[in-house]
Amino acid sequence: MDTADKLVLKTKPSPYMKRWWSLELSKLQAETRWWGRKAYANRHEVNHESHAKYRAVHNQYTDKIKGSKRAYWEKLLEQVDEKTVWTAHKIASAEAADGGGTRIPMLSTKRGDGAMWEAVTNKEKADMLFSSFFPASSSETRIPIDDLHYPPNTFDYQPITDEQIRRAIHKLNPFKAPGANGIPNIVIKQCTDTLIPFIGPIFCATFSLEVYLDTWKDSIMRVV
């Protein structure tokens, strides 16, 4: 985190920014708007050169947008695995939208008496999602703690290997919301070879020392 604070530039991406957008598109957009204003200023002169130039730049701009969208979609499909294939299918099979922001629809659930209840306001939806994700825990336990009988071990314990850690990192979703440390999974995936020599001893120590860090018990859940 210290390295990230020192070297990574802070940005404030717009919530409306598209992942397929590029710096080249920004330049073409500015050029298209400039020629559009020029053509509008000379709208009474039908044969003015600004009209032809605006049409040419505008066509180039729209073609570049289509190409950028197609290239981003093809790159996304190339990275599809057994987990993200259903997300790609959902995107491809979804009905066309107007590009507006996503909204949580009205939610329905059953009360304790069996009656249906609908959450309409944002607060009601948040309360319903919170109760679903974090149900109230009961003080009573169903496990007889005083008289436990575990079956014999199926196999002898073996220390965690670097290859097991590598496979676990490979299965991580790169763009899930980061945890309490603020480090996204994509950073871990890109730095696998650098991190494994440090992560391995830490994981092995949890078993050899029988200590589980309290910070590892915390998690952050984001509803998207």
pLDDT in tens, 203-217: 889 888 888 888 887
Q: Can you tell me which residue has the tokens 């945890």? A: 179
Domain ranges of the chain: 15-90, 104-137, 162-217
Is it the case that residue 30 has pLDDT exceeding 60? yes
| 222: confidence class by pLDDT, cuts 50, 70, 90 | low
| 42: confidence class by pLDDT, cuts 50, 70, 90 | very high
**Distance, CA of 64 to chain centre:** 26
* Range 97-120 average pLDDT: 73
**Distance, CA of 32 to chain centre:** 32
Close Cβ partners of 170 (under 8 Å, ≥ 6 residues apart): 189, 192
Close Cβ partners of 88 (under 8 Å, ≥ 6 residues apart): 76, 77, 80
**pTM of the predicted model, to two decimals?**
0.45
Amino acid at 19: R
Establish how many alpha carbons lie within 13 A of residue 211's alpha carbon, considering only the half-sphere containing its beta carbon.
Answer: 6
**Distance, CA of 159 to chain centre:** 32
Q: To the nearest whole number, what is the mean pLDDT of the chain?
A: 83
116 in the Ramachandran plot: left (φ > 0), alpha (ψ -120 to 50) or beta?
beta
Is 19 in a helix, a strand, or coil? coil
Contact (Cβ atoms closer than 8 angstroms) between residue 95 and residue 74: no
Close Cβ partners of 169 (under 8 Å, ≥ 6 residues apart): 188, 189, 192, 196
| Residues 164-174: tens digit of each pLDDT | 999 999 988 88
Contact (Cβ atoms closer than 8 angstroms) between residue 64 and residue 28: yes
